[in-house]
Structures are given as C-alpha cells and as structure tokens.
C-alpha cells in the first residue's frame, strides 16, 4: 500500500464514541484516504462510512481560515493579535464590571482531553469561574450521574470485547448499526454466532432482526420496563443471592418497590407484551454472562438518570458486573463525550469527577495553578442560557459546539445568544451559533491535532496530526493557551503531552497515564502509577464507601410531555448512519450524496389516518414550534410515534423540543415530544432532496 | 504445541493453522484469499506448503497444526502450484496489477513475469455510481474476500459472487450497484480487495494523475 502514499499517520476517529483507530494516508500534501488500523482495540481492522470516507470536510473551501471580528453588522477578517485583543479586552472589562461569574465557557466533546482540560483551566484559572460545561450535558450526563451513584465511577464497567464474551445482551434505547456502526457490526456478528440479543426500543431497529426478542416500548416508559424485568427476575428466583448479599446495599427496598411491576402492569404502561417481558428477563438473568448496552434513548428523558440507575439494579440483581462478558456499556455519542467530562470540563468537578466543593481537591489545583477558586459549582449549559436571558451572564466562550442547532428549545438558545454582551466562538466552520458571535477564532479538525480521546470503554487513545490547519487556522491547544496567556495566566505547556503529564500528576486515578504509555494499544482508566490499566471495573469492590454497590428503588414516572388531542403523536429524535449530529462535518462530504435530506418516519396506520402518503411533505408541530419535511411510511416505527434525525439545518428538528430535562442532570428530553403531523401540498413519489446549503467540494 | 517451520521450532496454541505457525516463525507464505479478520477460506491455493509425511502440498491457511509437524514453506512442488495458479490469474487480467496491490506483491514474490498464456483477457467494466466505492469488474479474481468481509466483518450481506469460469465476479445487490443494495458504505470490501477490483474512486483519480491513462475506461 505504501507506494501510493507519502506518509501514513495512525490516529483515532473523531466521529462517534466507539474510538476506531485509523490510518490517515497522505499524498500531494493532503489526506487522500483513511483505512482502519488493524490493531485498533475497539475496531479491530474495521470502520464505517463516516470514519473511513467522511474526511473531505477538513479540506472544505468554507473552512474558517482567518479570525473574524464583528463590524457594522457583519464580519471582517482580522489578525490573530486583533482578535485575541478583542477577547481579552471584553473578558477583562466584563470581569471588572460584573465579576468572573458573568462569563461562561463551553468545551467540546469532539475536542481532545488536553483541549478540554486547557479550556476548563482557562475558565477556572484565567477567568476565575466554574462556569464551564460541555455537550455531554445534552447526551450522557445522566449515565455519568447514575453510574457514579450505583457503582462509583463514571464509565462503562467493561469493554467492547465483553460483547463477544457474553452469552446474552440487552440493548435498550440504542440503535448501534446507525449511531455506532462498528460496535453495531460487532453486536450483529456476535448475534449471528449465538449471542442472545434482546432489543427494546420504540423503533424496530436493525439489530432486532438478529435478536431473540424485540420489545417495542412507548417512548418514556423505560423505567416501567426495567422495573418489570427486575420484578420477573425476583419473582422467578433468578437473583444472584451471593452477589447481592456480599457486594450490594439496598436490595430489600428494590424488591418491595418492584413487587407492583407485574408483567401485566408493565404491558399496560409500555405497550410491550407481558410474555415478552418475562422472556426478556429470563434471557438476561439465566445467561452465565450478560451485558446491557444503552444510549440516548435511555438518557434523554425527564427521568433519564433514574433509568440508568434501574439498569444498574438489573445488573446487580443478577451479578452481571465486574466479570468478562458481564458489562454495562453506555454507547457514548461523540468521540470524546467520556473524556471531556473526565477531564474537568464540568461546572461541578475537576478531573476524575472530584467536586469543586471538596476543599482538598480545589486547594491542590489552586496551588498548582497559582490562583484562588470558589468552592461552589458553576452553571450548567441550560442555566447559562437562562442567565444570559435574565442578564446576569454577559459573555460566553463557545468552543466547538453549535448550540443554536443542537440544543433544545432553539428559540430560547438564540434569545440567550442575542442577549450576551460578548460571544467568542472557536470552530472550524461558521455555524448557526457563530452568527451571534463577536469574534470567531478559526480552529482545527481532529485530523489536524495532537492529543488523546477517551472512547466509550474509558480507553485513552492517541490523536496524531496528519494534516495542518488551513490558512491562518490554529490548533485549539495553541488558541486556548494563547488566550489564557493574554489574560495573564500562562499555563506553561509546550505540547499537549505536557498537559497530560499535569493531568496525571493531579489525578490519582490517572496517575500512570502519559502519551508515551498510551502508545498504540491505549489505556483504560484507572491507570496505576506503574501504567497498569483497567479493562474491567469492580472485579472485587465497587468504588463507593464500604466497597458495595447501591440499588436504587425508583418508580416509573410519566415523561414530561404527553400526547393529547391537539398533539396526538410522540416524536422521537435520533441519528442516521450517514450523518453525524449537526451535520457540520458529514454534510460537507460525499455522505450527502448517500443521504441528501431527512424524512419523518410514520407508521402505516397513522399515515392512513392522517392522509399522509409515502414521500409527501408534512408539517410537524409541537407545543414549541413547527418544521416541514417529507414523510416516509414504515413499519419500523411503532404506531402512535414518529421519528426523525437532527442532521440538517434546513429541518431544524430542535425547534420542536421544549425545556423539559432530566431531573438530576438537566439533560434535555429529546426523546419524547408530543406533536401533530399534517400533510401539506400534493403527494410526491419519493422524498425530494433538500439542499439549503450547497455542498462545497473538497479542495 | 511445538511445530517446526523451515527448520525453526515455534510454540503454537491448539487450533493454530500452519499459516499462523509460519507467521510466528517469521516465514512469509504468500496468500490471496486470506484475511486475518475473517475465517480461512482455502480457495486461492497460493499458500501451498510442503508438509512432512503428506503426499502432496497442503494449504497453509486451512490446515491445522499437529504436534511436531514439520513444514517447508518453499517446498518445490508447493511453490510450483502457487506460481502456476497466480500466473493463470494474471493471464486473465487486461493489465498487470497496480504495484501497491497484494496481487502484485504476491506475483513479485513468486517471480512471475508476463504470463505464458496469452488467451482471452477480461474487458474493462466499471461502476462508479457510488460516491466513494469504485468497482472495476475486470480486476476481480474471485477470491471471495469482499463477499466475506461484507458478511463476516460488517454484516451487510450486500455482495454476492456471480457467474462461472471466465465470467465469474462479484455483484452488489441484484446487480444494482452499491447505493441500491443493502450496502452501508463501510468500505470493508475495498479494504480487503487484493486487486483494486473494489477500491476508493478518489485513489484511482490520484493514480491516473501520475501514470498514463490505463487501458479501458468506463
């Protein structure tokens, strides 16, 4: 292969949280091809349509290649000196007039661990506020919360290798063949070879066709299903008594609570048949080794974090944690959802989720950075937008996140951005969010930077630059450390590797991590000082006081939104294979040719009742807003529900989503929105391609 | 268990193939239909080796090791079979394989020059309907790797082996191209293809910018 290419760099994929290791091949001074690394621990010589092919976006002509500053209603190109001077002047003025807590920052779950750590240090040390958050707030913060409550640590308990080692697996609220394609392929292959798969989802996902059993449940009823499964496990004597007795606390309260969750009652709530619920419980509990995998279909709900605790209950009842083939595997949305939160880009915690309210921890960072910090947490993302609207938040530094496209209640977000005195955005493209910026700093794509990502297995893997940022664009590491220096706080790092050395020094559970040790195989935290990592957590004790895991007796409660006469259908949103989140990257590649526009999935019975034909344009209304898109009639969705993705700005799905959010973590309830659907215009035979933004060809 | 490859003893696990043992012993055995990501197929007959006590050469990829087995990877009959097989494969192609391909490397290793048989050759037949994946049917050697990668690595079941003899090849969907099949565009087929019969379209353009326009066309 090598003759064709000038150079090949091994790096880690910047799309989803699977963490595929990739070989980026260069010719003519640019990346011409990407292939999977044969020794990638998560991908084992495989990758998907995004990781392998969707890299043209990095060479797109509309990349930001120079700093932009707002002037007379528009933007003009500025020098780095001028742009950074504007940022420092604004922050210094606002800090002097309103205090440091009038400023907030967002790190990015697409950026490296080092970038996220530097960003939180910038906010905490250079500006002096804990107002720092990242986009995992809107996806897996409930997972993090619940795993810490139940087991002690915020991460998958095992690795993807446990899928192949398992006898059975329960997939709930996750569609891996679309959202996490390489793990989806691994699950499918395992199922073909005999893994007993149970799927539970409002949509009949592709993997349901390879499983033993599919439970089509109503959106927002996961808690009832999980308590129903626990009921059957206890009723039918499938509890691992020894494990429960020796390693857990709180069993009795759960047993008492779930007594009422008979399969018949749960059928009433979820719509899944009682016999299916019983069979699912037996398939999971009777397996020698069983895994549970979940995604945003569990977390993005009013009680999302509680549902993850109920998932933990099920694993604890059956002793399916801390052994090979018995893992709890949350499939993380973006490449570095795990790492951005691990590394302190949260308003309440430093690295390894150690709280800012812990005086010893905060003191250690104060000493290391030579600053003083508060002992109270800062604002979460939704609180930042509320504070901007009410005028107490004056400025934001948004790094690698398009909140105006991806956050819920879009109208409120835009009102917040418009209310700010000063907004600086650091991104690779102009986005819906940068429209409201005062300064836009041109940053780097994952192919252009160095550092580490942490995948959904808690595995830190190296990211190595295989291209240079275009024009005057710079790496995020360089931008953030320069801004910090300009604000009077010189972080003193020369390379991202120095940042990781500081993280290791300041964080006992990451003590043995260094770029050199990560090497090609990666390291799964915790990492001991001698470099020993931890593929499987909790083999003999849980990381809670006394070493025992905690059951949580949590009842089912209805979701925040309900169908009614005016809005009779429930909208679920999610991802499609060809595209990725706001589509900023994938819509600038040939993937747009593979999927050029979005559609609304409607069950045939609903379509008939509404008078909607396959391919016909429909108006979807919620209590918050309205969007238009073509309908696709399919039996893959349960009756009474509709589905679409959020990849296309011309659809703006998030206009429909209200402010309802997880009770513990403020993660938005993207998965349950009552809507009405009405046909508009004449029937068409197929969804028409909508291309509001022309695709810009590479190079 | 212990086996000997080209006079070097190696320890292998039960269930290891001769190919595994040869790799462990540092002996290169050429292969065309083998890919470590998939189950051994035993179709191409290029990995033939000599085995002490056997009447004829055996395929290294599908023959399991036995205790104290002795293997000679460059045994004369085995190499003659492998070279003749590859020479036959080359004789059907409209042009020599591109230097970066596995087929070219195997042909180099077995020191095969211009094929002695100058019969009919395959005619160029290209499918460039997919934004990334290019099919060049005339380069297909029916090793089955793409079909198996699609089944065993991805699980999309989009590719099928079709035709017989000189007319054999592969097809996506019901000969409807990648985009109208169950293909999920993962690229595993292009990744495993030893000849560029399936490859990335952009790489073909890159190659044609440097070399003379290859024979054929769309």
Q: What pLDDT is stored for residue A80 in this prediction?
A: 98
Are A482 and A402 in a shared domain? Answer: yes
* Span(s) in chain B for CATH 3.30.70.20: 126-208
Whether residue B152 lies within 8 A of chain A, CB to CB, comes out as yes
Query: According to the model, what pLDDT value does residue A685 have?
Result: 45
- Do A126 and A152 belong to one domain? no
* Structural domain contains residue A612: yes
> Between chains, do B131 and A28 touch, taking CB under 8 Å as contact?
no
Q: How do A422-427 and A395-399 pair as beta strands?
A: parallel
Task: Check CB contact under 8 Å for B153 and A48.
Answer: no
Strand order in the sheet with B133-136: B126-127, B133-136, B198-200
Is A188 within 8 Å of B152 when comparing Cβ atoms?
A: no
What is the domain range of residue A8?
A: 2-59
Distance from the B203 Cα atom to the nearest Cα atom in chain A, whole angstroms = 7
* Long-range contact pairs involving A241-244 (C-beta distance under 8 Å, separation at least 24): A242/A319, A243/A316, A243/A318, A243/A319, A244/A316, A244/A317, A244/A319
**CATH code at position A617:** 2.40.40.20
Residue A684 domain-assigned? no
Q: Is B207 within 8 Å of chain A by CB?
A: yes
CA-to-CA distance for B30 and A310, rounded, in angstroms?
53
Pairwise CB contact (< 8 Å): B155 & A4: no
Residue A70 belongs to some domain of the structure: no
How many Cβ atoms from other residues are within 10 Å of residue A689's Cβ?
11
| Rounded-to-integer distance, Cα A521 and Cα A513, Å | 13
A669, A660 contact by CB (below 8 A): yes
**CATH value at residue A18:** 2.20.25.90
Q: How many domains in chain A?
A: 4
pLDDT value, residue B28? 97
Can you say whether the dihedral through the CA atoms of A216, A221, A222, A223 is positive or negative? negative
DSSP B5-66: ETTEEEE--TT-BHHHHHHHHT-----SS--TTS-----S--SEEEETT-SS-EETTTPBP-
The reported pLDDT for the residue numbered B132 is: 96
Judged by phi (left if over 0) then psi (alpha if -120 to 50, else beta), residue A254 lies in alpha
Q: Are residues A209 and A318 in the same domain?
A: yes
Same domain, A317 and A354: no
Those residues whose C-beta lies under 8 Å from the C-beta of residue A272, and which sit 6 or more positions away, are: A200, A215, A216, A217, A225, A266
Q: What is the ipTM of this complex?
A: 0.91
Q: A227-264, pLDDT tens digit by residue?
A: 999 999 999 999 999 999 999 999 999 999 999 999 99
Q: Helical H runs in A105-221?
A: 113-121, 141-150, 161-165, 176-179, 181-192
How far apart are the C-alpha atoms of A224 and B105, rounded to whole Å?
Answer: 60
Instruction: Measure the CA angle with vertex B117, ends B113 and B120; round to 5°.
Output: 120
Q: Is A695 on the interface with B (CB under 8 A)?
A: no
Taking 50 as the pLDDT cut, the residues of chain A under it are 1-2, 683-699
Q: Which two tokens stand for residue B143?
A: 């090793």
Closest by CA position to A439, among listed A72, A60, A78, A65: A78
Q: Are A179 and A300 members of one domain?
A: yes
> Rounded CA gap, B208 and B170, in Å?
24
CA torsion A250→A253→A255→A257, rounded to 10°?
Answer: -140
Every domain of chain B with CATH number 3.10.20.740 lies at 1-121
Q: How far is CA A351 from the centre of its chain?
A: 18
What 8-state DSSP symbol labels residue A495? S
Flag whether A558 is in a domain. Answer: no
Whether domain B126-208 has CATH 1.10.1200.10: the reply is: no
> What is the assigned CATH class of domain B1-121?
alpha beta
What CATH number is associated with residue A295? 3.40.228.10
Rounded CA-CA distance A204/A603 in Å is: 11
B157 touches A: beta carbon within 8 Å = no
- Same domain, yes or no: A157 and A51: no
What residues contact residue A346 under an 8 Å CB cut-off, 6+ apart? A120, A132, A133, A134, A353
Tell me how far apart the alpha carbons of residues A22 and A38 are, in angstroms, rounded to a whole number: 9
CB A574 within 8 A of CB A174: no
Q: What is the pLDDT of residue A355?
A: 97
Distance from CA of A594 to the nearest CA of B (A): 7
What local confidence, expressed as pLDDT, does residue A50 receive? 95
Angle CA B51–B54–B56, to nearest 5: 90
Chain B: closest CA distance from residue A209 (Å): 12
Record: contact A48-B207, CB cut-off 8 A: no
B36 contacts on A by Cβ (under 8 Å)? 38, 45
Task: Please return the burial class of A26, using the count of CB atoms within 10 Å of its CB with bins 0-12, 13-18 and 19+.
Answer: middle
- The whole-angstrom separation of Cα A428 and Cα A437 is 14
Do A316 and A177 fall into the same domain? yes
Cβ atoms A376, A349 nearer than 8 A: no
Answer yes or no: do A361 and A231 share one domain.
no
Q: Is A357 found in the same domain as A395?
A: yes
Residues of A in contact with B211 (CB under 8 A): none
Q: What confidence score (pLDDT) does residue A686 get?
A: 45
Task: Flag whether residue A577 sits within 8 Å of chain B, measured between CB atoms.
Answer: yes
Q: Does B184 sit within 8 Å of A577, measured CB to CB?
A: yes
The whole-angstrom separation of Cα A573 and Cα B143 is 42
CA–CA dist B14, B67 (Å, integer): 9
Those of residues 25-44 in A touching chain B at CB distance below 8 A are 27-28, 32-33, 35-36, 38, 44
Residues A289 and A425 in one domain: no
Using alpha carbons, select from A227, A304, A239 the residue that is nearest to residue A266. A227
Q: Do A153 and A229 belong together in one domain? A: yes
Residue A32: list chain B partners with CB under 8 A.
Answer: 202-203, 206
A160 with A112, same domain? no
Looking at residue B210, its pLDDT comes to: 53
What is the residue-level pLDDT of chain B in tens, covering all 218 positions?
999 999 999 999 999 999 999 999 999 999 999 999 999 999 999 999 999 999 999 999 999 999 999 999 999 999 999 999 999 999 999 999 999 999 999 999 999 989 998 888 999 999 999 999 999 999 999 999 999 999 999 999 999 999 888 888 999 988 788 988 999 999 999 999 999 999 999 998 887 765 544 433 33
The reported pLDDT for the residue numbered B216 is 35
The verdict on A46 touching B (C-beta cutoff 8 Å) is: yes
Strand partners, A8: A25
Closest residue on chain B to A206 (Cα): B156
Asked if residue A697 is part of any domain, the answer here is: no
Q: Which structure tokens are listed for A324?
A: 């090979």
* Phi/psi of residue A418, nearest 5 degrees: -70, -25
């Amino acid at each position: 292969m090598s003759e064709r290419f000038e150079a090949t760099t091994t790096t880690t994929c910047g799309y989803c949280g699977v963490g595929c290791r990739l070989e980026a091949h260069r010719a003519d001074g640019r990346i011409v091809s990407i292939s999977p690394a044969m020794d990638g621990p998560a991908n084992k010589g495989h990758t998907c349509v995004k990781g392998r092919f969707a890299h043209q976006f990095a060479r797109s002509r509309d990349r930001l290649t120079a700093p932009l500053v707002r002037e007379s209603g528009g933007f003009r190109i500025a020098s780095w000196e001028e742009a950074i001077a504007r940022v420092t002047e604004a922050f210094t003025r606002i800090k002097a007039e309103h205090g440091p807590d009038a400023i907030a920052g967002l790190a990015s779950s697409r950026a490296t661990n080092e970038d996220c750590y530097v960003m939180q240090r910038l906010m905490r040390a250079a500006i002096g506020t804990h107002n720092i958050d990242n986009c995992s707030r809107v996806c897996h913060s409930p997972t993090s919360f619940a795993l810490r409550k139940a087991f002690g640590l915020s991460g998958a308990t095992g690795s993807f290798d446990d899928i192949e080692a398992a006898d059975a697996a329960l997939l709930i609220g996750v569609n891996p063949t679309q959202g996490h394609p390489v793990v989806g392929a691994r699950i499918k292959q395992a199922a073909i070879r005999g893994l007993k798969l149970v799927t539970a989802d409002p949509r009949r996902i592709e993997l349901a066709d390879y499983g033993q059993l599919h439970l089509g449940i109503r959106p927002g009823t996961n808690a009832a299903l999980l308590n129903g499964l626990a009921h059957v496990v206890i009723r039918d004597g499938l509890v691992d008594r020894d494990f429960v007795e020796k390693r857990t606390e709180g069993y009795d309260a759960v047993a008492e609570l779930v007594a009422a969750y008979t399969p018949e009652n749960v059928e009433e709530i979820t719509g899944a048949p009682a016999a299916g619920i019983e069979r699912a419980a037996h398939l999971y509990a009777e397996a020698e080794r069983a895994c549970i995998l979940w995604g945003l279909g569990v977390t993005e709900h009013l009680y999302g974090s509680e549902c993850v605790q109920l998932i933990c209950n099920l694993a604890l009842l059956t002793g399916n944690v801390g052994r090979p083939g018995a893992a709890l595997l949350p499939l993380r949305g973006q490449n570095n959802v795990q790492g951005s939160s691990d590394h302190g880009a949260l308003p309440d915690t430093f690295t390894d989720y150690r709280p800012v309210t812990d005086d010893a921890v905060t003191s250690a960072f104060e000493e290391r950075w030579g600053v003083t910090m508060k002992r109270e947490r800062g604002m979460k993302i939704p609180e930042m937008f509320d504070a901007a609207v009410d005028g107490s938040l004056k400025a934001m530094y948004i790094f690698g996140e398009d909140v105006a496209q991806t956050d819920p209640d879009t109208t409120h977000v835009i009102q917040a951005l418009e209310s700010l005195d000063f907004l600086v955005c650091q991104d690779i493209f102009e986005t819906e969010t940068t429209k409201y910026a005062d300064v836009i700093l041109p940053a780097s794509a994952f192919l252009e930077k160095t550092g580490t990502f942490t995948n959904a297995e808690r595995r830190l893997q190296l990211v190595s630059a295989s291209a240079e940022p275009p024009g005057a664009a710079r790496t995020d590491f360089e931008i953030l450390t320069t801004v910090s220096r300009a604000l009077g706080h010189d972080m003193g790092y020369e390379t991202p590797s120095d940042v990781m050395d500081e993280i290791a020094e300041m964080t006992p559970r990451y003590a043995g991590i260094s770029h050199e040790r990560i090497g090609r195989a990666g390291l799964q935290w915790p990492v001991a000082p001698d470099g020993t990592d931890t593929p499987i957590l909790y083999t003999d004790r849980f990381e809670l006081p006394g070493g025992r895991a905690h059951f949580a007796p949590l009842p089912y409660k209805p979701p925040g939104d309900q169908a009614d006469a005016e809005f009779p259908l429930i909208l679920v949103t999610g991802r499609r294979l060809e595209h990725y989140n706001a589509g900023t990257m994938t819509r600038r590649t040939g993937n747009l040719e593979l999927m050029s526009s979005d559609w609304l999935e409607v069950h045939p019975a609903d379509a008939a009742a509404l008078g909607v034909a396959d391919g016909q344009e429909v108006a979807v209304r919620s209590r918050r807003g309205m969007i238009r898109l073509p309908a696709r009639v399919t039996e893959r969705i349960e009756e009474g529900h509709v589905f679409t993705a959020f990849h296309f700005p011309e659809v703006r799905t998030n206009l429909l989503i209200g402010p309802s959010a997880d009770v513990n973590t403020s993660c938005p309830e993207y998965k349950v929105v009552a809507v009405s659907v009405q046909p508009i215009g004449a029937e068409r035979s197929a969804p028409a391609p909508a291309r509001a933004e022309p695709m810009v060809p590479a190079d | 268990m212990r086996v000997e490859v080209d006079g070097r003893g190696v320890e292998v696990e039960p269930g290891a193939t001769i190919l595994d043992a040869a790799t462990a012993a540092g002996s290169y055995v050429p292969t065309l239909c083998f890919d470590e990501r998939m189950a051994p197929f035993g179709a191409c007959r290029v990995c033939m080796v000599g085995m002490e006590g056997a009447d004829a050469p055996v395929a290294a990829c599908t023959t399991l090791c036995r205790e104290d087995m002795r293997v000679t990877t460059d045994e004369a009959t085995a190499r003659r079979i492998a070279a003749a097989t590859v020479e036959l494969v080359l004789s059907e192609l409209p042009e020599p394989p591109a230097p970066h391909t596995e087929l070219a490397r195997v042909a180099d290793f077995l020191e095969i020059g211009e094929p002695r048989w100058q019969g009919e050759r395959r005619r160029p037949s290209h499918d460039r309907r997919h934004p990334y994946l290019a099919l060049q049917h005339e380069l297909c050697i029916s090793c089955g790797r793409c079909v198996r990668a699609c089944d065993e690595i991805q699980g999309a079941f989009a590719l099928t082996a079709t035709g017989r003899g000189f007319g054999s090849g592969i097809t996506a969907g019901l000969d409807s191209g990648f985009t109208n099949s169950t293909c999920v565009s993962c690229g595993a087929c292009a990744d495993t293809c030893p000849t560029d019969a399936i490859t990335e379209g952009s790489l073909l353009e890159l190659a044609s910018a440097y070399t003379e326009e290859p024979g054929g066309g769309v």
